[in-house]
């Protein structure tokens, strides 16, 4: 989920989910902006564009193939206090992390926009809204 959140910080609004061809439940749109998916060189089905803004990928120091920029805005990575290597900002918009009510360590805000989480119909705890 961090991957998707790292490519949508400039869009606020409801996050709409659906199934991808691999059967994963992923965001289909954020704030009405469509998320387009495709396969990366590793064979993973990942966001290729959000609202028409292209996502550029590259390898991070731990060898993971991750977003490097979104619509020309650089994604910067670093280590979180829990030891995970995750996006820290996108285009200068800081991503702040914290614990969710279910105990997951996840983004709490992006560029000052709060992220609301909620339980999905299958019991998974996912971001539902970015904004305010």
d(CA 48, CA 7): 9
Coil, helix or strand for 55?
strand
Find how far residue 39's CA is from the centre of its chain. Answer: 16
The alpha-carbon radius of gyration of the chain (Å, integer) is: 14
Tokens at 18, concatenated: 């659906």
User: One digit per residue, pLDDT tens: the chain, 132 residues?
Assistant: 445 555 555 566 788 888 888 888 888 888 888 989 988 887 888 889 888 889 999 888 878 888 898 888 899 999 888 888 888 988 888 989 988 887 888 888 888 888 888 887 777 888 888 876
Backbone angles phi, psi at 118, to 5 degrees: -160, 165
Residue-level pLDDT at 12: 67
pTM of the model: 0.77
d(CA 118, CA 124): 8
Domain residues of the chain, as ranges? Answer: 2-131
Number of alpha carbons in the 13 Å side-chain half-sphere of residue 51: 15
Residue-level pLDDT at 91: 85
């Amino acid at each position: 989920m961090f991957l998707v959140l790292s490519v949508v910080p400039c869009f606020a609004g409801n996050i709409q989910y659906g199934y991808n061809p691999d059967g994963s439940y992923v965001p289909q749109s954020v704030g009405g902006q469509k998320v387009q998916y495709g396969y990366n060189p590793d064979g993973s089905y990942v966001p290729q564009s959000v609202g028409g803004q292209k996502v550029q990928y590259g390898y991070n120091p731990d060898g993971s193939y991750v977003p490097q920029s979104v619509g020309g805005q650089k994604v910067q990575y670093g280590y979180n206090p829990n030891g995970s290597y995750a996006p820290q900002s996108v285009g200068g918009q800081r991503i702040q992390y914290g614990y969710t009510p279910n105990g997951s360590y996840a983004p709490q805000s992006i560029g000052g926009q709060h992220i609301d989480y909620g339980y999905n119909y299958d019991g998974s705890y996912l971001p539902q809204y970015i904004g305010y």
